[in-house]
Amino acid sequence: MNLTKERNQLLTNNMNLTKERNQLLTNNMNLTKERNQLLTNNMNLTKERNQLLTNNMNLTKERDQLLTNNMNLTKERNQLLTNNMNLTKERNQLLTNNMNLTKERNQLLTNNMNLTKERNQLLTNNMNLTKERNQLLTNNMNLTKERNQLLTNNMNLTKERDLLKSEKNELQTLFAGGWKCHQSSLYFISSETKKWTESRKYCTNKGADLIVINNKEEQDFVKKISGDAKVWIGLTDQSVEGRWKWVDGSNVTFRFWENGQPNKIEEDCALNYSPGWADFPCGNKYKWICEKSIFK
């Protein structure tokens, strides 16, 4: 029942991950579409800006031409004034010409002022377009960054999904090989007998180790799966006589020794059987129990 429940949980997680992946793909497509629209708008604004710059250059060129003409007319006017002093007869004609030139000059000044005003307006528009273009570029960069983040998240979810599938397949393989699940660990009880060291080597070759019993519930579980059989557990005082340690290096916090155990110096390895734990010679051959965590 635990295996079925875990399988259903894994299937539910897999469906949720698939649904989330599809949502991320949809979001990614929408962001890409929006990015393309922004790029198109950006290109149109750039084209319009370039047209305004061309118009601005043409107006500036025309203004410079008018200034040149104005300077030439002013020079001519001065020449006429000089001639007026020398030629009294032509004075009236020169005055008339001077009035005409003054009128034209004023017209040119007015035109020049209008062109200057228009130029300033174009410069303002150009600055506004540049500011808007920079804002669009910033938005485009932010959207690209967000898209890349979504792609990264999508890749991480895909990787996590594949890892869950791999762990699921590994669990199914272990269950098929006789491993049993209890709380957050997997357990394997052998059908053959080996020495304590050989039993531990068998476990480590499977990515596990001899069982470490941390509480009474786990002790009861060991009794349940082993029955009356003697089974090696991961407890030894081979390093320091009388100082019993588990194979993971931890000290013994819960003790389930049979009365009078441990009782012999030369017996450095522990096993479990119906009365509890007992120390036995490590060279004796018994069944064993391997343990490995479900979580990597």
pLDDT in tens, the chain (296 residues): 788 898 999 999 999 999 999 999 999 899 899 999 989 988 998 898 899 789 879 978 988 997 898 898 789 988 957 985 997 898 889 799 989 999 999 999 999 899 999 999 999 998 999 999 999 999 989 998 999 999 888 888 878 786 666 556 666 666 656 799 999 999 999 999 999 999 999 999 999 999 999 999 999 999 999 998 999 999 999 999 999 999 999 999 999 999 999 988 889 999 999 999 999 999 999 999 999 998 76
Give 180-293's CATH code, choosing from 3.40.50.11810, 3.10.100.10, 3.40.605.10, 3.90.580.10: 3.10.100.10
- 1 burial level (CB within 10 Å; 0-12, 13-18, 19+): exposed
Decide: residue 222, CB within 10 A, 0-12 exposed, 13-18 middle, 19+ buried: buried
| CB-based contact 260:227 (threshold 8 Å) | no
DSSP 3-state of 122: helix
H or E segment at 195?
A: none
- Using CA atoms, how far residue 214 sits from 56, 185, 189, 223, 234, in Å, is 84, 12, 18, 14, 11
Q: H-helix or E-strand containing 208? A: none
Domain pair 2-171 / 180-293, same fold? no
Question: What span, in angstroms and rounded, lies between the C-alpha atoms of 122 and 131?
Answer: 14
pLDDT (0 to 100) of residue 205: 97
Q: CB–CB of 273/228 below 8 Å?
A: yes
- Do 58 and 111 form a contact (C-beta atoms < 8 A)? no
The domain ranges of the chain are 2-171, 180-293
Strand partners, 210: 290
User: What are the start-end ranges of the H helices in 177-229?
Assistant: 196-205, 216-226
SS3 87: coil
Strand 231-236 relative to strand 287-293: parallel, antiparallel, unpaired? parallel
Pair of tokens at residue 31: 């962001």
pLDDT, residue 84, reads 58
Q: Cα dihedral sign for 273, 275, 276, 279?
A: negative
**Top CATH class, 2-171:** mainly alpha
Give me the pLDDT at residue 161, please: 83
Collapsing DSSP to helix, strand or coil, 246 comes out as strand
Residue 131 backbone phi and psi in degrees, to 5: -60, -45
Position 212 scores a pLDDT of: 98
Cis peptide before 275 (omega within 30 of 0): no
pTM above the 0.75 mark?
no
Half-sphere CA count of 103, side-chain side, radius 13 A: 6
Phi, psi of 183 (to 5 degrees): 55, -120
